[in-house]
Structure formats: structure tokens, C-alpha cells
Amino acid sequence: MKNILTAPFVEEMKKTTANMYRLGWDERNGGNISYMLEEDEVAEYLDLNNVLRTIPTGFDATALSGKIFIVTGTGKYFKNVQDDPENNLGIIRIAKDGTTAELLWGYADGGRFTSELPAHLMSHMARLTVDPSNRVVMHSHPTNTLAMNYVHELDEKSFTHTLWEMCTECIVVFPDGIGVLPWMLCGTNEIGMATAEKMKEFRLVVWGMHGIYGVGKNLDEAFGLIETVEKAAQIYMLTAHLPRVNTIKDSEMVELAEFFGVKYRKDFLNL
């Protein structure tokens, strides 16, 4: 059996968490990632019959029974994942009862998965009904996106439209727009359910005055979505107090979207 520390999915998690911390998106123990793995790829590195311990999830995820995830740990700092993945990450399988996670590897210091795992699992369930290739749910606190929450109305159409105006690539990268939730208590099933409902329509969901959720078929895609939003939010924050001389017109956004063949939210434009 191969060494789990050399597994591509462990290496990807190490690099991604380190990069997110470096960018200032995940201060202290902020942020979390869950990445659905294929059973065959995990079986090359772990004995899938060897369950180290079981951990209640606090949520019925029967629809995901048997699915395997690598998940960041609760109270863990992203900056430490690269040097100590076995304590800061865990590989879990959702048990048949749907309310228990079977630990296959990791959380070696007795820890457990992020407290927002129920929100992640709800989002995975919602996204799989829309896009069966969805494998990653990523949550972070990107600085400019968060700052924008305080000076811009938290309305999905206007928030999305403003970001689309900031970079030519935006309507191409997230043509489905951005879902927005008001401030809600984090770490609860309530915010998880609200996020999952938005995930049926959007791949990005802003948690008001908190951060953002992004999803994708792999870590690069989820990261790239958040990265593009954050760049656009940065440009907005740098220019919001200045007179607007130029902008990307709605007609030009249509031209972009149609040229690149993406299905965009026409109702989020002012045509």
C-alpha cells in the first residue's frame, strides 16, 4: 500500500491551504475545505475496512452514505497543514446511518472535522443534484470580498452586477452570479440549510459580514472562483470612492458571455 502522505489529494490540500493562508483568506483557524474522493483512489493508500474511530456529524447525510471526504480539522490553522497534515486533516467516510463519520485517517491528535461539516455536506448534496462532477466545497474569509459587504447592498443582482463590472473575465468565470445570505450564526444547521438552498442556483454564496462559499469539480476550480471574486472586490474597494469614468457596459457583458458560450444570468443585467 502506498504512503498516504504522498497521495495527490493530500498534496493538493497542503498546497491549497498554504496558498489560502498566504493570501490572508483564512486567518487563525478560519476557513474550511471538504473534498470528495473516489473510493478507488483512496484504496491505494488506506485500508478502507480499518475505521480508526467514529464521530457524530450532527446532521443526517444519508444521501452521502459511503462517500469519502478529506476535510480540514476544527480549530486547525491552514498554515500548519503543509507541515503536519496528519493532525490538521482527516479522511472520513459517511456511515450507512448518515449521521456518523468513520475516520479512516488523520485527526491524529484526537481532533475532528470542521464544525461547519454539516453545512459542507448539505452543500455537497445540493450541488450533486445540479452537477454530479462537483467534489469540492471551500469556505474562506477573503479580505476585500468581506470589506465589500459593509459598503455595498447585499442584494444578489446588484452585488453580482457590480463585480461583473470590475473585471472583463468575471461574467465568464461566474456567469451564474453570486448568492447572498444576510448575517447568520455560523456553525449551525440553519446556515447550512440556507447555503445549500442557494447552492441549487449558485456556485458561490456570500455569507454576509463573514466570508464566502465556493464549489467546484476540483480544488483549482473552487479556489479560482473565489480568487476571481476577491480580485473584483479589491478593484471595487480601490475605486468605489472615486468618480467612475469608465465601466464595462451591460451590452459588452452580453458580448463576452456569448462569445465564450457561457450561460449567464440575463436577469442580473440591466438591458
Judge whether 248 and 183 are in contact, CB under 8 Å.
Answer: no
> Is residue 97 helix, strand or coil?
coil
Match 448518515 to its residue by C-alpha cell.
Answer: 98
User: Of 135, 118, 123, which Cα lies nearest the Cα of 201?
Assistant: 123
Backbone angles phi, psi at 227, to 5 degrees: -60, -40
Cell numbers of 263, please?
450561460
> What residues are annotated to the active site?
116
Write the DSSP symbol of residue 174. S
Q: How much of the chain is helix, strand and coil, in % rounded to 5?
A: 45, 20, 40
For 180, the enclosing helix (H) or strand (E) is strand 179-181
Cell numbers of 131, please?
452537477
